[in-house]
Amino acid sequence: MSLRQHKIAVIAGDGIGIEVTAAALNVLKAVEARLGTFRLVFDEFDYGSARYKATGAYAPEGWLDHLATSDAILFGAVGDPDVPDHISLWELILPMRQRFQQYVNVRPSSVLPGIAPHATAAAVAGLNWVFVRENTEGEYSGQGGRTHVGSTLEVATDVAVFTRGGVERCMRYAFEVARSRERKLLTVVTKSNAQRYGLVLWDEVAASVAMDFPDVKWDKMLVDAMTVRMVQKPHSLDTIVATNLHGDILTDLAAALSGSIGIAHSSSLDPTRANPSMFEPVHGAAFDIMGRNIANPVAAMFSAAEMLRWIGEEEAAVLVERAATQSICGGQVTCDLGGKLSTVEVTRVVCQMVERL
Amino acid sequence: MSLRQHKIAVIAGDGIGIEVTAAALNVLKAVEARLGTFRLVFDEFDYGSARYKATGAYAPEGWLDHLATSDAILFGAVGDPDVPDHISLWELILPMRQRFQQYVNVRPSSVLPGIAPHATAAAVAGLNWVFVRENTEGEYSGQGGRTHVGSTLEVATDVAVFTRGGVERCMRYAFEVARSRERKLLTVVTKSNAQRYGLVLWDEVAASVAMDFPDVKWDKMLVDAMTVRMVQKPHSLDTIVATNLHGDILTDLAAALSGSIGIAHSSSLDPTRANPSMFEPVHGAAFDIMGRNIANPVAAMFSAAEMLRWIGEEEAAVLVERAATQSICGGQVTCDLGGKLSTVEVTRVVCQMVERL
Ligand SMILES: CC(C)[C@H](C(=O)O)[C@@H](O)C(=O)O
Ligand SMILES: CC(C)[C@H](C(=O)O)[C@@H](O)C(=O)O
């Protein structure tokens, strides 16, 4: 019998991205060996800030075409104290999201059983949200510029660009996610009171797409009031859709409220499957803790599990998720969750569980 | 002896704005009577959504010129379920902030002694922040538009406009606030990784203004990571400066983390004093509870106190703040803080305290 084969592009990137991606690869290899039903072919790329500092470019000419041939992309983190963020990100992660039309960024947040004692005081028991963040346009369209640079006359602009098609495909995806979940409840985040063009279009598209989903209950929340609701009435929320920037902010808050940013993962999806989708932790390169073998690898493992699910390996995905969740329930965790284990030790524990489960 | 006299424009606006502004006026009258050292001349305006629905305009021709002659503006809230928010706000509150060059919006957040038992689980003891929000430009500049409206080709843009002068005056104010506080600690919120023009200017201005404040420790935080820090390391923060939209979102979160949005107040200041400044609760018109005599009037009272301070009546300001704080400590509060009193009853309690303190 010939094995199902999947070509996975791996970009570990910078900082703790390197450590947690190595951990995720180990877990992927463990689950591949354990099940023996598929093969993962890893293509590892050294794109990142070290390469930039050595060669002047984050990635070689034609890198996006190269990545386009993979079945999925596993990403670590990017960012470097020596490189302005707006360079590092516009060289690597934002072009991927745009070029590969990864128009939704899906970020589930839930408080894992067993995490409560280790998590922040603010962690809310039973919280169970899925955020769908628009991922290719809006405030991240990259348009804008600076005039009279450095002079007192200087003006700088960032243009948030919303297209009807871009908003609609994201909104439709969000309604579908809401429909697939038990509560069938969607909250559309907006700020159309202040942002009176793009966000008004956003509201209009929400209302029109909603007509195709009569079984989904939906409401609208201003992004500012949304933070209050997340803190004060977390159980009133289920599926949430937001623009690129609003989603960026709210999903970090969600990660904090669900106990640790060290376990939050994120999928940048092209639901049409015309292009590879990308799977990454919500956290960044975290230079303050890099190289110390203390980064929490669980977000990267959950990202890898979500990738397995996306490429059709549901059984493997479930195994990885169960193993990582059990290590947390058992208190075998890194210091951000109040534990004493290193990155490598947590990885070993999870790999062993994958082998035995 | 002739009394100091202050001309106060009062715009109660919509929804619970009307109820809480009435409460604040009662407290102002009580403190005026109690001290007898100054006189407040109130100019009450019916600007708001009811007027719009009746006449087609939120305010009569020339209203801004009219307000310009006042010493301060006390504002309630605006917004109406029958009027799209982008109309109501761009007709009333946003033009005031811009025309009167109220370029900083100052929002203190602290957990009042005595509030803990009534507040949300997330309320953080000892939290004590001051937010300085840019209030006249950035994401709220109002520029942008829609092309191909309603067609599949539609594109809508919102242009965030940052001027060097606009950023600098706000940043300088924030450094001054930080300097005036015990910890001398400023966090500059940014998102220059994604918004690579205006927010890069923002960062550059922060670095250059900082040179004039060697005694202030400052750091930078990305807006998304900032939400995590507010939840997980609240005591690491003191003074915070943010753009118009970032500040809008983060101050609502701050209000939630400090126990209740019903006590958070906001000052839109023109520090040059060339124009009147405006004092308002952070909360909105809240139609869901309007007319039920349950809205928390304390945010409006704190706004009134801050207004008294701004016009030079420090003694009166302190009296109002002490009275409102004592009503909270004594549990004489509205239902949002777990109490049983109505808006009118809380107001009566605070007025009596003002008389006796
Ligand atoms: C690294 C940064 C550009 C990115 C974003 O803002 O989208 C990150 O915060 C995220 O949420 O994935
Ligand atoms: C009402 C609205 C326009 C306003 C804002 O976004 O500034 C409000 O949320 C605030 O924070 O004062």
Q: Give the contacts of B305 (CB within 8 A, at least 6 positions apart).
A: B316, B317, B318, B320, B321, B324
H-only helix segments in B213-258 = 223-232, 244-257
Backbone CA torsion sign across A163, A165, A167, A170: negative
Give the CA diameter of chain A: 71
Task: Average the pLDDT over B335-354 and give the result.
Answer: 96
Provide the pLDDT for residue A126. Answer: 79
Confirm or reject contact between A238 and chain B (CB < 8 A): no
Whether residues B79 and A201 touch (CB distance < 8 A) is answered with: no
Q: How much is the pLDDT for A111?
A: 79
pLDDT for the residue numbered A122: 56
Please give the Cα distance from A187 to A247 (Å, whole number): 12
Assess B125–A contact: CB distance below 8 Å, yes or no: no
Burial B111-145 (b: 16+ CB within 10 A, else e): bbebbeebbbebbbeebbbbbbbbbbbbbbbbebe
Query: What percent of chain B is predicted at pLDDT more than 70?
Result: 97
- To the nearest 10°, the Cα dihedral for A286, A288, A294, A295? -10
Return the pLDDT at B126: 79
Query: Closest ligand to B94 CA?
Result: 2
Q: Does the pLDDT at position B95 exceed 60?
A: yes
| Nearest residue, CB atoms, A144 vs list B197, B227, B252 | B197
Amino acid of residue A209: V
CA–CA distance, A208 with A203 (Å, rounded to integer): 9
A1-101+277-356 belongs to CATH 3.40.718.10: yes
Mean pLDDT for B76-101 is 91
Intrachain domains A1-101+277-356 and A117-258 with the same fold: yes
B4 pLDDT higher than 90: yes
pLDDT for the residue A261: 85
Q: Please list the alpha-helical segments (H only) found in chain B.
A: 16-35, 49-55, 63-67, 85-91, 93-99, 164-180, 198-210, 223-232, 244-257, 298-310, 314-329, 343-356
Q: Phi/psi zone of residue B37: left (φ > 0), alpha (ψ -120 to 50 degrees), beta?
A: alpha
Of A93, A105, A136, best ligand 1 pocket probe by most atoms within 8 Å of the beta carbon: A93
Token pair belonging to B145:
């538009």
Q: What is the pLDDT of residues B240-255, one digit of tens each?
A: 999 999 999 999 999 9
Task: Give yes or no for a contact between B102 and B269, defined as CB atoms under 8 angstroms apart.
Answer: yes
What residue type is assigned to position B196 of the chain? Answer: R
Give, for B73, the enclosing helix (H) or strand (E): strand B72-77
Instruction: Give the ligand whose atoms come closest to the C-alpha of residue B107.
Output: 2
Residue where the block lists tokens 């400590």: B329
The one-letter code for the residue type at B150 is G
Facing residue for A227 by CB, picked from B225, B245, B252: B252
What would the pLDDT profile of A292-316 be if each residue is shown by its tens digit? 999 999 999 999 999 999 999 999 9
CA distance readout (Å), B116 to A151, A342, B87, B129: 49, 37, 38, 17
Q: Per-block average pLDDT, block size 10, for chain A (357 residues)?
A: 92 97 98 98 97 96 96 96 87 94 95 61 76 97 96 97 98 98 98 92 98 98 95 95 98 90 94 98 92 97 98 98 94 92 98 95
Closest-CA residue of A relative to B192 is A86
pTM (predicted TM-score):
0.94
At residue A84, the pLDDT reads 87
* A79-123 residue pLDDT tens: 998 998 888 888 999 999 999 999 999 999 987 766 654 455 556
CA nearest neighbour of A230 among A187, A281, A181, A193:
A187
Q: Does domain B117-258 have CATH number 3.40.718.10?
A: yes
Which pLDDT score, from 0 to 100, does residue A85 have? 82
Q: Is the CB of B37 under 6 A from ligand 1?
A: no
CB contact under 8 A, B196 and A144: yes
Smallest CA-to-CA distance from A104 within A251, A221, A293 is with: A251
CB A144, CB B199: distance < 8 Å: no
In B129-148, the residues whose Cβ lies within 8 Å of chain A are 139-140, 142, 144-146, 148
| pLDDT score, position B101 | 97
Cβ distance A84 to B198 less than 8 Å, yes or no, reads: no
Burial of A340 (0-12, 13-18, 19+ CB in 10 A): exposed
Atom of ligand 1 nearest to the CA of A252: 11
Q: Given B153, B163, B224, which is nearest A154 (Cβ)?
A: B163
**pLDDT above 70 for B202:** yes
Q: Which of A94, A98, A248, A282, when mutated, tests ligand 1's pocket best, judged by the most ligand atoms within 8 Å of its CB?
A: A248
Domain ranges of chain A: 1-101+277-356, 117-258
| Closest to B328 in 3D by CA, of B282, B306, B297, B285 | B297
